[in-house]
Amino acid sequence: MAVNTEAKGRVLVITLDRPEARNAVNGDVASGIEAAIDKLENDPELWVGIIQSSGTVFCAGADLKEVSAGNGRALSTERGGFAGLVKRERTKPLIAAVNGAAVAGGCEIVLSCDMVIAAEGARFGLPEVKRSLAAAAGGLFRLPRAVGTGPAMEMILTGDPISADRAYQLGLVNHVVPLDGLAQAALDLADRIVVNAPLAVRASREIAVNALKLDDAELWKMSAAASKAMSQTEDFKEGPRAFIEKRDPVWKGR
């Protein structure tokens, strides 16, 4: 299979598995990622997702052989867009664990995630202009939001990649770790999230995702609605109770 999944506790690990093609996105990858996100979203026992890859490259973007053969539409899904992901509406956090190059559509997959752990040798880039293409899977507007206009313009207009350390300096990457610790570092971050109340995590994520898209008036409304919704849950009562009783909370997600 081009995409494999494995549940590790409350974390779903999604692995791109086309190393012979540098994990380039074809129809199987797009449908596989969409199915994996469906599994993450629909299973109440899964609270966080990680997307990683096998081999030495995270993802080289679109499979140009498929594009040249006229199969470009197969690289997208109706709900998710390119790779079954870049346009997908989600409620649960998704972490990218990046080894090697994440370029073109591979970088756009990363930009679709909520957090990024990068191996020391990872690289990020949108080289489309070098091929007379446009990064049409969200990179041209998500990258400026992630790293700022100036650095994003340099990456977009030169097509040159940046290192993991530079990506960390710019705020695109949360942590840079040795390659042999990449998978564990991503799991460690996921575990730090799943100890928290899942409904509160999802509500907080939704507002943060919209922070650079909506005006303050709308964000105030969303924040008030989230606070009201949390107050009506069982977990809202469990949090203070666990604190008073000096024990770890037992979240039910309701």
Question: If you average pLDDT over every residue of the chain, what do you get?
Answer: 94
126 in a structural domain: yes
Confidence class for position 20, pLDDT limits 50, 70, 90: very high
- Are 87 and 166 contained in the same domain? yes
Tell whether 202 and 187 lie within a shared domain.
no
pLDDT band of 249, cuts 50, 70, 90: confident
72 pLDDT higher than 70: no
Same domain, 178 and 234: no
* Torsions phi, psi for 249 (to 5 deg): -70, 150
- Residue corresponding to tokens 């791109």: 16
In this model, does residue 202 exceed pLDDT 80? yes
Q: Are residues 176 and 208 in the same domain?
A: no
User: What percent of the chain is predicted at pLDDT more than 70?
Assistant: 98
- Read off the pLDDT of each residue in 184-197 and give the average, rounded to a whole number: 97
- Of the residues 6, 45, 78, 108, which is catalytic? 108
CATH number (domain holding residue 29): 3.90.226.10
For the cut 90, the answer to whether the pLDDT of residue 36 exceeds it is yes
One of 45, 128, 238, 245 is an active-site residue; which one? Answer: 128
Per cent of the chain over pLDDT 90 is 83
Distance CA 123, CA 162 (A): 6
Per-residue 3-state assignment (H helix, E strand, C coil) for 65-133: HHHHCCCHHHHEECCCEECCCCCCCCCCCEEEEECCEEECHHHHHHHCCCEEEEECCCEEECCHHHHCC
The verdict on residue 172 lying in a domain is yes
Segments forming the whole domain that contains residue 237: 198-244
Would you call 245 a catalytic residue per the annotation?
no
Tens of pLDDT, residues 79-97: 999 999 999 999 999 999 9
Question: Is residue 128 annotated as part of the catalytic site, yes or no?
Answer: yes
Question: Do the domain assignments include residue 250?
Answer: no
Assess whether pLDDT exceeds 80 at residue 67.
no
